[in-house]
Amino acid sequence: MNFTRLRTLVVDDEPFAREKVRSFLADYPDFEVVGDYEDGEQAACAILTQQPDVVFLDVEIPGKSGLEVLNSLPADSQPSIVVVTAFDRYAVQAFEVGALEYLLKPFNKTRFAQAIKGVRQKAVSLKVGNADSATLGLLSHSEIADRERVAIKSGSRIIIVRSSSIEWIEAQGDYVMMHAQKAHHLVRETMSMMEKRLDPGRFARIHRSAIVNLDFIRELRPLWGGDYRVLLQDGTQLTLSRNYRSAVRDKLAPSITWDYDSVARGNSQTS
Provide the pLDDT for residue 259: 65
pTM score, whole prediction: 0.48
Extract the residue ranges of the chain whose pLDDT is less than 70: 1-4, 75-77, 121-147, 154-157, 259-271
- pLDDT (tens digit, 9 = 90+) per residue, 202-247? 899 999 999 999 999 999 999 888 899 999 999 999 999 988 988 8
- Say which residues have a Cβ less than 8 Å from residue 167's Cβ, sequence separation at least 6: 179, 180, 181, 212, 213, 216, 232, 233, 234, 236
Please give the domain boundaries of the chain with CATH numbers for all domains: 6-128 (3.40.50.2300), 133-252 (2.40.50.1020)
Provide the pLDDT for residue 93: 80
Provide the pLDDT for residue 141: 42
